[in-house]
Amino acid sequence: MTTPVTPLPGRRDAEGTRQKLLRAALELFTGEGFLASTTPIIAQRAGVAEGTIYRHFTSKEHLLNEVYRGTQRWATGVVKEVDADRSLKAPGRLTRIARRFVETAEHDPAGARMLLRQRDANFLDVPSRDAAREFREAVQQVVAAGKADGMVRAGPAELWTSIWLVILAFIIERVASREWTMDQPQV
């Protein structure tokens, strides 16, 4: 018989601190911008000393990439989960995907804003760019299925994916900034 291993208190505390830093960075990067979000401000928002950041991340860029990748992976998971439900045709799946992201914008504006953020692209590393590509390809797969069924207009799936994502980013920003609510017809 094996005894379950309970993490040492220090490890649980370290993971909690890491999560606080990730959340503080997410909120600041999407609210104030990456360049304006200094490590002292991030540390203050997380309720830790500035040096604590460097126990978990090698740099502010590393922190940005961790936040960005986490958002991209979550979004890719949402797309794949919804796409697996073949009871809906592709337009219905795209609508459900959009609805999930817009609901996120209502409850977690910073998380939703990070999803389609392009402003900090110069600071993204290869794994972050790969995560963004995987998200985009997952959406493009749904769009391509719609084209195959004749439910998406003629033209490259890549183009329609880009258009869909731009429109989604616009809606997410309106909902995240509280200009629109979920019960408005345009949402």
Please write the tens of the pLDDT for every residue from 46-74: 999 999 999 999 999 999 999 999 999 99
pLDDT-derived band at 40 (thresholds 50, 70, 90) equals very high
Average pLDDT in the chain? 91
Q: Provide the pLDDT for residue 2.
A: 44
pLDDT-derived band at 155 (thresholds 50, 70, 90) equals confident
**Structure letter (DSSP) for residue 117:** -
Q: pTM of this prediction?
A: 0.88
The arrangement of secondary structure in 9-176, i.e. its CATH architecture, is: Orthogonal Bundle (1.10)
Residue boundaries of the structural domains of the chain: 9-176
One DSSP character per residue, 120-143 reads TGGG--HHHHHHHHHHHHHHHHHH
Question: What would the mean pLDDT of 177-182 be, rounded to a whole number?
Answer: 90
Buried b (16+ CB within 10 A) or exposed e, 59-74: ebbebbbbbbbbbbee
